[in-house]
């Protein structure tokens, strides 16, 4: 891996860390904001909010620990997929979330795909990068 790739992965990891650290903290600081977006077919909304917030915090920390970085990355990718129903619910019921611009609700779904790719790219083991470059 060259220096440019290493720097890019480091910057990407900083972004992913900040994204999930802030998100995780907000799950505990303002849980009612997140409870509102949990679709009604998901039981125990408050528990889901606290559990997902804890997973965000653990994943954010985990991506800085080399021994668990890849595992933390997979966890964050799965978590990002798991919260997709909440984002779809918000888009389907945009009138109930008028404080969020409609364009942001629309952009959020493709952004999740980019975020999943970014998590994968910045947390995969160096060995996988060496094999891909050969």
3-25 pLDDT, tens digit each = 888 899 999 999 999 999 999 99
* 30 vs 14: CA distance, rounded Å: 23
Domain that holds residue 126: 3-133
Predicted pLDDT at 4: 84
Residue 47 scores a pLDDT above 70: yes
What are the residue ranges of helices labelled H in 30-101? Answer: 31-35, 45-62, 69-82, 84-92
- 24 neighbors 53 (Cβ within 8 angstroms): yes
How many domains does the structure of the chain reveal? 1
Q: Which residue has the tokens 């804890």?
A: 54
Predicted pLDDT at 2: 84
6: nearest Cα among 113, 130, 116: 130
% of the chain surpassing 70 pLDDT: 93
Phi-psi region of 39 (alpha: psi -120 to 50; beta: other; left: phi over 0): beta
Q: How many CB atoms lie within 10 A of CB 60?
A: 22
SS3 call for 58: helix
């Amino acid at each position: 891996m060259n220096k440019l790739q290493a720097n890019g992965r480091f910057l990407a990891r900083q972004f992913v860390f900040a994204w999930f650290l802030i998100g995780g903290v907000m799950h505990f600081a303002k849980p009612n904001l997140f409870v509102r977006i949990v679709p009604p077919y998901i039981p125990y909304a408050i528990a889901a909010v606290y559990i997902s917030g804890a997973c965000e915090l653990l994943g954010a920390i985990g991506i800085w620990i080399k021994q668990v970085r890849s595992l933390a990355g997979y966890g964050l990718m799965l978590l990002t997929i798991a919260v997709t129903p909440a984002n779809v619910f918000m888009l389907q019921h945009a009138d109930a979330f008028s404080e969020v611009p409609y364009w942001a609700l629309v952009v959020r779904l493709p952004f999740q795909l980019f975020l999943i790719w970014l998590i994968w790219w910045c947390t995969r083991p160096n060995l996988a990068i060496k094999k891909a470059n050969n």
